[in-house]
Amino acid sequence: MTPSARLAATLDLLTLIDETPRPADSLVSGYFRARRFIGSKDRAFISSETYDILRHQARLNWWLTYLGQPITARNRFLTYLKLFEKKTQNEIDGLCDGGQYAPARLEPEEKKLIASLKGHTATHPNMPEEVVGECPEWASEGLKKRFGKNLSKHLDVLLRPAPLDLRINPLKTTREKAAANLMHLGLDVGVTPYSPWGLRIHNRPALGQITMLKEGALEIQDEGSQLVALLVDAKPGERVVDFCAGAGGKTLAISAQMQNKGRIIACDVLANRLKRSAERFRRAGLHNIETHPLTSERDPWVKRHKGAFDRVLVNAPCSGTGTWRRNPDARWKSLGPGLDALIPLQASILESASRLVKEKGRLVYATCSLLPQENEEQITRFLENHPEFKLVPVQECGAALSDLPKTGDYLSLTPAEHKTDGFFAAIMEKLPQSKNETKDISHDED
């Protein structure tokens, strides 16, 4: 593809993302599936350019507002070319020449926009800190509470693209064999510092060339997510529930930890995602997993299985602030409940799932959020209302995790400090009945 054609495809994608209420990653994947003629190098450029523009949306929108220009995908695109790629007026004119595979010619108002940006940088002295850090208003208070005077450093790291983390399936390969296979493909591969099952690729591979992914020997999974699954510390032969299993990434890791022995039930209210996960389980050679769709977190299935499981993982729906490196559109695109609705939902899910835990069993609560409201504050409230549970420091869990980062009693990962996505996990153990002084009042009526 010519440089103009690449930019035209980028602009098509940006417009599609603006107009379609779906996550950017699924729209990008669908766009390329419908255009198989686009080669791998062109796909890599178009994807990178698209995500980079999404990462800088707050500043681009600020400039358009400052200059009195409409906020559109095309105007953001032109502003990006000028401020971030430092292209001249003539260069942008040449790229947007209206040819068959090029963006349309510049209108007079667009030429005026580009001229107005001459001599400026991406950041203006009048920009608020949140705009410079590409932080939406809804997350600002929580992130300030979490990071204080170090907020800018953490926001800056969240703007950088994330590497590709992979998890080996120990039932099919070893980390050494998988690393050798990936290096043979010319990939820049290293081991993850905390997860014993993780590999990190620093360049951008075409995933189709990694046959171990197709064979179920490798799975795409951020190191932070791997650590959450490993902290469940499930043993072979135990009974385990992944209460918000989604597409099954952590379910796969837990099942492998159990050496395919025992029983793990993957639950979710999104039945279609569970159905799709079945193929991943089959490919990985795992047969101790069952799926069970729920009508809600208060599904009658929960009451029927009260106290029946050794381990229960609640990977709660959350704001996703810890994944902004991978999902920059999540800052601005509201595709589910807002924070005000998520916090009570998380509490309800945690309370309901806690009923499944047997005495001396463990309940693991996790999010991919950096916000205290979704993390520490949720656990504090839960433990205040449920004296039948006690907090277990994460350093005491998981024999395979001897190199856990020191983050206190909770697992609390950040991209800036640990080079993972932002993840939080808390582990709680259910006390034997004889030690309870408070009757269990966990809403058995539903």
Torsion of the alpha carbons at 306, 369, 18 and 81, rounded to the nearest 10: -160
C-alpha count within 13 angstroms, C-beta hemisphere, residue 415: 26
Q: How far is CA 29 from the centre of its chain?
A: 16
Q: 411, 227 in Cβ contact below 8 A? A: yes
| Distant-in-sequence, close-in-space partners of 219: CB < 8 Å, separation ≥ 6 | 166, 167, 169, 213, 249, 252, 253, 280, 284
Query: Containing H/E element for 364?
Result: strand 357-367
Strands 309-315 and 357-367: parallel
Collapsed DSSP state (helix, strand, coil) of residue 162: coil
Q: How far apart are CA 196 and CA 400, in angstroms?
A: 7
CA 237 to chain centre: 30
368 is catalytic: yes
In 3-state terms the chain splits into helix, strand, coil percentages (rounded to 5) of 45, 15, 40
User: H helices within 185-257, ranges in order?
Assistant: 211-214, 223-231, 249-257
Our CA angle for 377, 382, 387, nearest 5°, is 135
Sign of the dihedral through C-alpha 64, 66, 68, 71: positive
Tokens of 71: 């906020």
In the set 96, 244, 368, 397, the catalytic residue is 368
d(CA 10, CA 102) in angstroms, rounded, equals 11
Backbone angle region of 285, left / alpha / beta, with phi > 0 → left and psi within -120 to 50 → alpha: left
Distance CA 425, CA 383 (A): 14
Give the CA distances from residue 291 to residues 264, 277, 284, 372, in Å, rounded to whole numbers and listed in that order: 9, 9, 15, 31
Q: Is 303 exposed, middle or buried (0-12, 13-18, 19+ CB in 10 A)?
A: middle
Catalytic amino acids?
A: 368
